[in-house]
Chain A
Amino acid sequence: MSGVVIAETVRRHLTNGMFVSFAIVIALIAIGVSQYGQPGSAWPGFAVLLAVVTGAGVIGPEFSSGTLQLILVKPINRAVYLLSRVAGVVLLVWSVSAIAALCEIAGRALDGEVPWSLIGTALVNSMGDTLLVCALLALFGTFTRAYFNVALYFALQLTLALLVGLARRKFTPAIAQAVVAVEQNLFPDTPPRFDAEWLLLVASNAAIALVLASFIFRRREVPYGAE
């Protein structure tokens, strides 16, 4: 990991008006949830959306803009650069999730009892979800250009969801079960309470995605100019 790249990723987002505004909106949603919603609801979904927006900028857009060429001549291993960029983005999104959880805790503390377990679970699950999102976007960014990583991410989710529906109606139960298993392993549904197995599955999926991303990025050609 490169501290320089992580620090720069964090600095660049914290000086970006859009990112800061998004973070404030999530915090406000958490405060709203503390007054009117179920504990740990709504804001984790927005944290995932924030992960999509920030994770989208890893590698793919840098490839298209020509930024990567300046980075790749510097003495930094490609895999280290990729992992550091992902680490910076994940740290940022996790920080926003933690702030949202604190806002909800503070809001609920004013009214009396704080459901620590439910909010804590929401925070941990949100961290798992956002880690997987960032890892997958980084993986897709290593072999696409611009923001096609986001398009690919949503296309894959949509395709799997359609396949599950189709398999349940048209195929034998065994095939349907297999398709559901694939979908649930790639994009496991977030559980309503703390589930160590789910966390392990998400973490291993993210790790596999990052290993693959590092491998692909190390081999990827990064041409510049007209040729």
Chain B
Amino acid sequence: MTIEVRGLRKSFRAHEVLKGVDLDIAPGEVVGLIGPNGAGKTTLMSCLLGFLHPDAGTITIDGRANDHLDVRRRTGFVPERMNFGRAETGRAFLRYMARLAGVPRGEVNQRTNAMLERLGIAAAADKRLSQYSRGMLQRIGMCQALIHEPWFLFLDEPTSGLDPNGVLLVRDLIAEQKARGTAVLLNSHQLAEIEKVCDRVLFLSSGVIAHRETLRHTDRIVVAITLLADTFDAANVERIAGVAPQGHVVIVSVEHESDIATLVKSLVESGAGVIDVRRHTADLESIFRGAA
């Protein structure tokens, strides 16, 4: 159930937009795609979804071509802007999407109602899409992408136009999809959002993956422990934590959450003042500035 891309190239006339992209997304992994405008993010997403035909390279999803109907049956996609027959009601639109996605006829109503309820737009279900706000359209976009319980989820700026409640809801939905083993590719300009939900991030620049960063390890936890100045001896801290502090901060990797408590206890017992302990993620803003 992995998404595998090898040597992907795509040109529009003389302009080569993708210049040999390789990427893998494992089941239950959320991968963020960032990069400046014109880097080729949308082109990459379009190739993955089969909207564009690559000039070279391969895309396999679950070992099959990305346009295989079995793959499509398990694929969900949220476009940045939802465009559909605006004269349709939200419910009619969702029912159609569910039927097209292969949801059994007997389950369509139940799943439609459940998704509308989950995304908080049940009250507007029978209104026309033309009466929906941008945020409501984004929510119904999420509904149509998730209604058939996909294994591969492609999200293009899913929080664009959403209010803070909507952003939190999308974050929860992504976490739920991750928990059920869905491979998620998230294209977003919102670095803070990427930091919060992604396991890995790919920085696309000038048609190549210029930088790959692991934000969350599946097999270990990285924590940053900030120590109070003048309360610790660097050599002593290195002996306890296994790594030397960088200034006042010790960035250390542990296997279990209980190891964090043990480590903090040892540091405090050595006389070091611990003033902050938090999970450590890469600073995407710095990466973006450095690689752009």
Q: Which parts of B61-114 form the interface with A (CB within 8 Å)?
A: 69-70, 72-73, 75-77, 79-85, 87-88, 92, 96-97, 99-102
0 or 1 for each of A63-83: is its CB under 8 Å from B? (1 = yes): 001110111111111000000
Instruction: For A12, list chain B residues within 8 Å (CB).
Output: 85, 87-88
Instruction: For A69, list chain B residues within 8 Å (CB).
Output: 49, 51, 77, 79
Q: Do A75 and B51 touch across chains, with their CB atoms under 8 A apart?
A: no
Q: How many residues of A contact B (CB 8 A)?
A: 28
* B217 vs chain A, min Cβ distance (A): 31
Instruction: For B84, list chain A residues within 8 Å (CB).
Output: 65-67, 70
Binds A, one of B24-32, B35-43, B263-271: B35-43
B20: CB under 8 A from chain A?
no
Q: Do A221 and B79 touch across chains, with their CB atoms under 8 A apart?
A: no
Instruction: For B76, list chain A residues within 8 Å (CB).
Output: 73
B144: CB under 8 A from chain A?
yes
**Contact status of A223 and B70, CB under 8 A, knowing A66-B83, A74-B97:** no
A64 to B88 CA separation, bound complex (whole angstroms) = 18
Please pick, from A65, A75, A222, A227, the residue contacting B69 in the complex, using a CB distance under 8 A: A75
A137: CB under 8 A from chain B?
no
Q: How many residues of B contact A (CB 8 A)?
A: 39
A67 to B101 CA separation, bound complex (whole angstroms) = 15
Please pick, from B42, B70, B72, the residue contacting A226 in the complex, using a CB distance under 8 A: B42
Instruction: For B81, list chain A residues within 8 Å (CB).
Output: 66
**Contact status of A224 and B46, CB under 8 A, knowing A16-B87, A66-B83, A70-B144:** yes
Q: Do B80 and A73 touch across chains, with their CB atoms under 8 A apart?
A: no
Q: Which of A5, A11, A219, A224 is most buried by chain B, counting CB atoms within 10 A of its CB?
A: A224
0 or 1 for each of B242-263: is its CB under 8 Å from A? (1 = yes): 0000000000000000000000
**Contact status of A66 and B101, CB under 8 A, knowing A223-B46, A225-B42:** no
Please pick, from A2, A5, A11, A222, the residue contacting B51 in the complex, using a CB distance under 8 A: A222
B50: CB under 8 A from chain A?
yes
A195: CB under 8 A from chain B?
no
**Contact status of A225 and B50, CB under 8 A, knowing A70-B144, A73-B72:** no
A178: CB under 8 A from chain B?
no
Q: Do B73 and A221 touch across chains, with their CB atoms under 8 A apart?
A: no
Q: Do A70 and B97 touch across chains, with their CB atoms under 8 A apart?
A: yes
Q: Do A74 and B101 touch across chains, with their CB atoms under 8 A apart?
A: yes
Q: Do A65 and B83 touch across chains, with their CB atoms under 8 A apart?
A: yes
* B249 vs chain A, min Cβ distance (A): 40
Instruction: For B72, list chain A residues within 8 Å (CB).
Output: 73-76
A75 to B252 CA separation, bound complex (whole angstroms) = 46
B199: CB under 8 A from chain A?
no
Q: Do B100 and A77 touch across chains, with their CB atoms under 8 A apart?
A: no
Task: Look across to chain B and name the residue whose beta carbon is closest to the beta carbon of A17.
Answer: B87
Q: Which parts of A204-227 form the interface with B (CB within 8 Å)?
A: 219, 221-227
A151: CB under 8 A from chain B?
no
B53: CB under 8 A from chain A?
yes
0 or 1 for each of A106-130: is its CB under 8 Å from B? (1 = yes): 0000000000000000000000000
Binding site for A on B (CB under 8 A): 17, 37-38, 40, 42-43, 45-46, 49-53, 69-70, 72-73, 75-77, 79-85, 87-88, 92, 96-97, 99-102, 144, 154, 156
The 9 A-B residue pairs with the shortest CB-CB distance in the complex, in nearest-first order:
A66-B83, A225-B42, A75-B72, A74-B100, A75-B73, A75-B69, A73-B77, A4-B99, A222-B51
19 contacts between A and B (CB under 8 A): A2-B100, A4-B96, A65-B83, A65-B84, A66-B79, A70-B97, A73-B50, A73-B76, A73-B154, A74-B97, A74-B100, A75-B102, A77-B69, A222-B46, A223-B42, A223-B43, A225-B46, A226-B37, A227-B42
